[in-house]
Amino acid sequence: MASFLAAALQLSSTPDAAANLAQAEELIDLAARRGAELVGLPENFIFLGAEEQKLQQAASLAEQASRFLVTMARRYQVTLLGGGFPVPAGEAATFNRAELVGPDGQLLGRYDKVHLFDVDLPDGNTYTESSTVQAGDIAPPVVEVPGLCRVGLSICYDVRFPELYRHLAGAGAELITVPAAFTAFTGKDHWQVLLQARAIENTAYVLAPAQTGLHYGRRQSHGHALVIDPWGTVLADAGVATGVAVAPIDTGHLQRVRAQMPSLRHRHPSLF
C-alpha cells in the first residue's frame, strides 16, 4: 500500500516555448514544495499556437520538452508527466506525445495520442487536430512507478472513449492521467463529468492537468485541473487561474473502494 501526494498543474501556454517552460518550472517547484511526488503537466505545455508554427518548430520543441522533463524530474525529485508535446512524424505531421519520467531522469513510459480532436463547435471554433497530427497506433501503457502506484497514460480527447480506460484498468492502472487542453465551450458541460465517470467506472484515481484561459486567436481552454478519487469525489480543483491542484493518492483507499464496489470483477468481456 502506498500513500503520496499528486499534483495536476494548470498552465496558460502560448507560442513562446521559453516562457511556457519558465511558467511550468514555477509550478513544478510549487508542487514539490507542497510535497507532491507525482506531478503532471497538461497537453501542449511547451507550445500552444498556430499549427504552422508548431510544424516548423516541432523538432526543437520535442528536444526541449524531453530534456525539460528529465531536468525537472531530477531537480525536484518527482515523477513527472509531460502531458503532450509535438514530436516530428514525417514532413507535415507530428505525434502528440506524453512522457512519464522518474526522479532519476529515466523514461518510464510514453504514449502517442490515439484519438484526434476534429470537431466543429457551435461557438464558431473549428478544430482539426488530424490536419497536423498523426494518430498513434499503440494502446497507452500502464507504468509501474516504484514506490507510488501503477499509472495509466492518456491525453485529452481520449477521455470520451471509455474503452481506452477499460484497457488501462484491465492492465492494472490505479491512477489514470488525463492531461488536457479542453475547450472552454465543451469543458463547462463535459470535462468534470467525463473524468468522474472514468474514475467511477474503473475505480481508479484520475489526475487531470489542464490548460486554462485565452491562448491565441479565439482559442480558450476550460481550466479546472482536477484530482479525483476512485469513488468519483473531486479531491482538488485548480479553478480557472494558473496554479496547482494537489491531493493525496492512497492505494489502500483504492483497494477498499474496489472491494466495496467490485464492478471490474463483474464484467463479461466475452459478451461485449
Q: Are strands 79-88 and 94-101 parallel, antiparallel or unpaired?
A: antiparallel
Q: What is the DSSP string of 87-142?
A: EE-STT-EEEEEEEE-TTS-EEEEEE--S--EEE-TTS-EEEGGGTBPPP-SPPPE
CA distance linking residue 194 with residue 200, whole number of Å: 10
The three cell numbers of residue 204 are 481508479
Catalytic residue among 37, 54, 113, 149: 113
All cell numbers assigned to 141? 501503457
DSSP, res 255: H
d(CA 132, CA 236): 34
State yes or no: is 43 an active-site residue: yes
Q: Per DSSP, what are the bridge partners of residue 272?
A: none
Q: What's 180's DSSP letter? A: B
Pairing relationship of beta strands 243-250 and 234-237 according to DSSP bridges: unpaired
91 is catalytic: no
Tell me the C-alpha distance between 173 and 202, whole Å: 9
Choose, from 43, 54, 99, 174, the residue flagged as catalytic: 43
Cα(4)–Cα(79) distance, integer angstroms: 12
Active site residue 54: no
The one catalytic residue among 37, 54, 156, 174 = 156
Question: Catalytic positions, please?
Answer: 43, 113, 156
